Amino acid sequence: MKTEGISKNYNRNAENVVAVLVGCYTFLGESDINKRIAQMTLKNVSRIPEMSVEEIAGECGVSVSSYLRFCKEIGYRSFTDFKLRLSSSLKKYLYMGSTPIAEYFTPDNFFDLYKEFVYQDFEKLEKLMDPEVCRQAVESLDQAENIYMVDLFYSTIRFALQGDLAFAGKCVTMEAPSDALIERFKAGLPEKSLVLLFLDGTYRTENMCLAIPELKKMNVHVTAISCNKHFKHWEECDEIIHTGPGSSPISSMMIHDLVIHYLSILYRHFHISK
């Protein structure tokens, strides 16, 4: 899949197809054909559940094969999977022009609802996250020379951790998950490499788990930050930091940022500030 140039998180919450399409259109470059496909898909979004792939591809001005590839590249197993999830997403939205408005949010309850989501997820994270596993993960990062951070979402918190590791002399690469990346990993990595996987439950991140057995055969250290306790080949990971799933897209991103920030604080405390 041609996903190497996709470096932003537009598929944090695969269930919300509208958000995925908006993110795809927002973050992809003007020359990327997927930006045009996302734009035209959004333009016709309310009609798509009743349209065939041939009709949608025609509206987007691309071939059927190009549209099918687009569905996979933005994180869905097939066009059928994409369309079913889109239909589900549309049921949760009211439409005023082209702007989706969640039915359960209003200007009056917005802050109270999100505060509830955030508090609930923070308390859950505090119970699930094991400080000893985090400490071990930090020690593993310090022992590695080449670190590959594989995530759909880039943020200042992630860049801060990358900066801490780079300051300590590590070669750090941030990668978006893709089939092409799996093949690159299988082809081999340098000695003393560590792969840090961010698994948020979406297809594209979970698919990266297929690389874990090959990485372990090459003695590559694998650390996972995962919303699920168990996932494909979980037993072969060296450390798993379990976060639990977020109650909303925003709190989901917050959970992962909190874990990364905690790792950064630990790393600075034990390996930089001394």
Q: Is the pTM of this model over 0.85?
A: no
Q: Residue 274: CB partners within 8 Å, gap ≥ 6?
A: none
Domain extent at residue 119: 113-272
Residue keyed to tokens 């941030």: 174
Query: Do 79 and 136 have their domain in common?
Result: no
Query: Do 164 and 225 have their domain in common?
Result: yes
Q: Do 231 and 209 touch, CB atoms closer than 8 A?
A: yes
Domain boundary residue, one of 46, 68, 102: 102
| Token pair of 180 as six digits | 């092409």
When comparing pLDDT for 263 and 272, which is higher?
263
Whether 108 is covered by a domain: the verdict is: no
CA distances from 9 to 20, 26, 177, 200, 273 (A): 9, 10, 10, 11, 32
pLDDT at 105: 65
Residue 95's pLDDT band, with cuts at 50, 70 and 90, is: very low
Domain boundary residue, one of 102, 124, 153: 102
Return the minimum-mean-pLDDT range out of 41-55, 97-111, 112-126. 97-111
pLDDT at 92: 55
Query: Do 129 and 49 have their domain in common?
Result: no
Q: Do 90 and 104 touch, CB atoms closer than 8 A?
A: no
What CATH number is associated with residue 52? 1.10.10.10
Mean pLDDT of 96-111: 58
Query: Do 87 and 117 have their domain in common?
Result: no
117 alpha carbon, distance to own chain's centre: 19
What CATH number is associated with residue 167? 3.40.50.10490
Read off φ and ψ for residue 148, nearest 5 degrees.
Answer: -115, 110
- Please name which of 61, 49, 122 lies closest in space to residue 90, comparing C-alpha atoms: 49
Domain boundary residue, one of 102, 137, 153: 102
When comparing pLDDT for 48 and 30, which is higher?
48
Whether 1 is covered by a domain: the verdict is: no
Residue 6's pLDDT band, with cuts at 50, 70 and 90, is: very low
pLDDT at 59: 93
> Which residue spans within 1-145 are E strands per DSSP?
93-96, 99-102
Mean pLDDT of 156-185: 86
